[in-house]
Amino acid sequence: MTLLISQSTLYSHCVLTIASRLDVMNRLGRAMADPTRSRILLSLLHGPGYPAQLSRDLGLTRTNVSNHLACLRDCGIVVTEPEGRQTRYEIADAHLAQALNALVETTLAIDEYASCIDPQCSLPGCAQARSRS
């Protein structure tokens, strides 16, 4: 009986872990799905920013920038730090900033015509699969 409880507990832990990871992926996807939020994120990868400065740099209204920053904050992607009458926004964690930079660099480095490292790859659109056709 103890074994069943342990398995059940282990299963519940795994499900919660998968559910929490899924939540993280959904929040990240939501944050990056909007082109304006992506532009704001790219700007914040270079360092902290303020709504007024971001609106000037990106050619957006301050209200628009503030709304997108609120979404990024609610998604856990950015954090705020009050500075007098202003609020500074920055990427929530150095590890997250590094991961976002790596994601951008990796995506930019992908060449759709580069050979796949798997000679048996059957993924649709893979250059290796196209060369066998």
pTM score of the predicted model: 0.67
Cβ burial of 34 (10 Å; 0-12, 13-18, 19+) is: middle
What CATH class has 2-107? mainly alpha
> Which residues neighbour 89 within 8 Å (Cβ) at sequence distance 6 or greater?
44, 48, 49, 50, 51, 54, 69, 72, 73, 78, 79, 80
Structure-token pair, residue 69? 């920053």
pLDDT 10s digits, 40-95:
999 999 999 999 999 999 999 999 999 999 999 998 999 999 999 999 999 999 99
